[in-house]
Amino acid sequence: MEIIDFNKLWSQSSEDVSKIQDYWDMRAEEFNDDVFTKEGNQRNSTIIDLLISKGMLNEDMEVLDIGCGPGKYSMEFSRKAKKVTGIDISPKMISFAKENSKKIGATNTDFMLIPWGQLDLDKQKWTKKYDLVFASTCPGINNSENLMKMVKASKGYCFLSCFANRTDKIKDEFNRVVFGQSTNSRGNNKIYYIFNILWQQGLYPEICYQDTEWKSQWTLEKAIEVCSLQFGKKLEDGTELKKKGENYLASIVKNGIIKETTSSKIAWIYWKTK
């Protein structure tokens, strides 16, 4: 298969930016709660150690963190690199990132509200600007164009993590009950597309895998909001499907809380740019 074939296979219809912002704004506090936890710090340090061991991160480098969220990786980069720029589509995520950066006294970070898919590297003067371009499970890397934009922004290395496999106990059951689909697995062939696109561009990506699990807790109202936004294209207000979903979520509430368990295998893909 040629690169044009993988470009066609890995194509997604455009989504309303405002709806994407709403979803991640709604999840921002939840993600921020994990920033300073022991478990969160352990996950961070594992990736940081890999980057350092591969010569992809040191004190003389400038780092671009795409989809930086509340800044958990950006803050670690600020301790190891010369300069860190974090971008995200969510205003609330950016606000948390700025606050967290101040908490640790970082003076070499800059956070900007920019959707990666809409960013013009030439106009921003970011072409071949960064020593490391980093994106951790970032939905914004969703097609060949946005992948190669990472390469264009880098003068050294790129790192991208994504789900090789993922199960969400509640969301997957929601998908089955409401839509009659047996799975809501994320990841699918994304890694296959990424590897082959990079390979056919003359790059040599390396891949390793990590197994991880985490838990989330939501009120019924928050769970309905999460599912409504995530399944928004298939789940519209006022439909019988929406009512069916709300009834399912109401049936699993215990002591006012719905507990979600997510298990995943995450692929770390990293490469040197030309």
Is pLDDT at 271 greater than 60 in this prediction? yes
Does the pTM of the predicted model rise above 0.75?
yes
The yes-or-no verdict on residue 16 having pLDDT over 80 is no
> What is the pLDDT averaged over residues 243-270?
94
157 vs 270: CA distance, rounded Å? 7
Question: In this predicted structure, what is the pLDDT of residue 237?
Answer: 54
Q: For residue 184, which phi and psi values (nearest 5 degrees)?
A: -125, 35
Average pLDDT, integer, range 40-58: 89
pLDDT of residue 179: 84
**Confidence bin at 78 (pLDDT 50/70/90):** very high
- Averaged pLDDT for residues 32-41: 81
Q: Kindly indicate the confidence band of residue 170, based on its pLDDT and cuts at 50, 70 and 90.
A: very high
Least-confidence region, from 25-34, 38-47, 86-95 = 38-47
In this prediction, residues 194-221 reach a mean pLDDT of 93
Residue 231's pLDDT band, with cuts at 50, 70 and 90, is confident
Give me the mean pLDDT over the 217-229 stretch. Answer: 91
The Cβ of residue 174 has, within 10 Å, a number of other Cβ atoms equal to 24
pLDDT, position 233: 63
More confident position, 197 or 187: 197
Beta strands at 109-113 and 154-168: parallel, antiparallel or unpaired: unpaired
Taking each helix axis from N to C terminus, what angle separates 91-103 and 17-32, rounded to the nearest 10 degrees? 30
User: Could you tell me if 205 and 199 are in contact, meaning their C-beta atoms sit under 8 angstroms apart?
Assistant: yes
